[in-house]
Amino acid sequence: MDRSLVTAAVLFGLLLAMPFLLPLIGSAYLSGLIIKAMLLAIAAISLDLLIGHGGMISLGHAAFVGVGAYATAIALENGVDDIFLLLLITLAVTGLTALVSGGLALRTSGLYFLMITLAFGQMIYFTLTSLAAYGGDDGLTLWSLATVFGSNVLQSGNGLYYLVLGTLFATWWGVYRISRSRFGRVLRAARDNPERAEVMGYPVVRFRLIAYLIAAMIAGVSGLLLVQHAEFVSPALATWQRSGDLIVVIVLGGLATRNGAILGAFFIVIVEEVLGSFIHEWRLIYGPLLVLMVLFAKGGISHLLTPKGAKGYAS
């Protein structure tokens, strides 16, 4: 059996059982930490679709997390609290934003694409800071959260935990299926040799734009869930540094691998938490640690766990 699928089964099995294990461990705080890592993994998987499979390095991807979060927050502030309506609003707003930014950015490639996505990300960030009615630079604390058919099931028990876990699994499986489809194969062909793909009759820009839209909407959904978890929204979600964090996650985990984004997200969250509990200037240790990981764990954490069978999505 493929080792990467075994790793995925173990990961999701542990996450599924964690709410039952936490009372035995005696640390309810871990639940919030795990949700944080899962939300980071959802956004990272969406970026891996762009970078790992499409070769489109974006420094503005976190902006879609911010757009999704603010679309949700503004809808909640205006009395819309049904989770399914919020999902539709989030998908529509992030999709429209991605259509505009992607339509322009994908006229270029390489470094120029990176710079244009960075510029759009900064534009979105400053737009969010200008929303004085919704907190501006200070952000917005939410006093009402999403409901499911009028029920507060997401605010009680493990409702939110399982919603985030279900979304993570759906994202992981969905991107996995996309990568194995004809669409995924064309996307990788365009990454490796766009001129040849065009000569073979594939509209490269159209395929890339569709991937860009899918990735943006997934990131928007992670923003929706982040609002539900944090009960707070801030323009800081859309900074280019957050996009850089997402790139670090997928590079550490393993680009275009089945489990890389998830492994990278949990590694980053756990290391930050552990180092932060021991030393105030934890970044002095965190930085060199990342350098060592990149130098000696080529192929990412996913490759370390499956050295003989570290297969990508497409295998």
Amino acid at residue number 3 = R
Question: Bigger pLDDT: 157 or 20?
Answer: 20
Residue 40 lies in a domain: yes
Return the pLDDT at 307: 61
Say if 311 falls within a structural domain.
Answer: no
What are 79-128's pLDDT values in tens digits? Answer: 999 999 999 999 999 999 999 999 999 999 889 999 999 999 999 999 99
How much is the pLDDT for 309? 42
> How many domains is the chain partitioned into structurally?
1
In a domain, 314, yes or no: no
Query: With pLDDT > 90 as the criterion, what percentage of the chain qualifies?
Result: 72
Mean pLDDT, all residues of the chain: 90
Can you tell me the mean pLDDT for 121-140? 94
Q: Is 313 within a domain? A: no
Range of the domain at 265: 3-305
Return the minimum-mean-pLDDT range out of 116-130, 147-161, 294-308.
294-308
Q: How high is the pLDDT of residue 259?
A: 93
Q: Over pLDDT 70: what percentage of the chain? A: 95
Query: What pLDDT is attached to residue 26?
Result: 58
47 pLDDT higher than 90: yes
**Pairs from 304-307 (Cβ < 8 Å, separation ≥ 24):** 305/3, 305/7, 305/259, 305/263, 306/3, 306/4, 306/7
- Please determine, for residue 255, whether its predicted confidence score (pLDDT) is greater than 80: yes
Whether residue 315 is contained in a domain is answered as no
Within a domain: 310: no
pLDDT at 21 over 90: no
Using alpha carbons, list the distances in angstroms from residue 10 to 18, 22, 85, 105, 158.
Answer: 12, 17, 33, 39, 20
Asked if residue 186 has pLDDT above 90, the reply is: yes
CATH number of the domain within which 102 lies:
1.10.3470
What local confidence, expressed as pLDDT, does residue 310 receive? 46
- pLDDT of 141 > 90? The answer is yes
pLDDT of 132 > 70? The answer is: yes
Q: Is the pLDDT of residue 315 over 80?
A: no
- Given a contact cutoff of 8 angstroms between Cβ atoms, the answer to whether 37 and 210 are in contact is no
Please write down the long-range contacts of 91-94, taking CB distance under 8 Å and 24 or more positions apart.
91/217, 91/220, 91/221, 93/67, 93/68, 93/220, 94/64, 94/67, 94/68, 94/216, 94/217, 94/219, 94/220, 94/223
- Cα→Cα distances 248→186, 238, 239, 278, Å: 26, 16, 15, 23
In the predicted structure, residue 78 carries a pLDDT above the cut 90: yes
Judge whether 35 lies within some domain: yes
Q: Tell me: pLDDT of 30 over 70.
A: yes
Are 251 and 294 spatial neighbours (Cβ–Cβ below 8 Å)? yes
Structural domain contains residue 141 = yes
What is the model's pLDDT at position 59?
Answer: 94
Instruction: Choose among 89, 58, 90: nearest CA to 208.
Output: 58
pLDDT of residue 24: 65
- Residue 188 tokens read as 């990788």
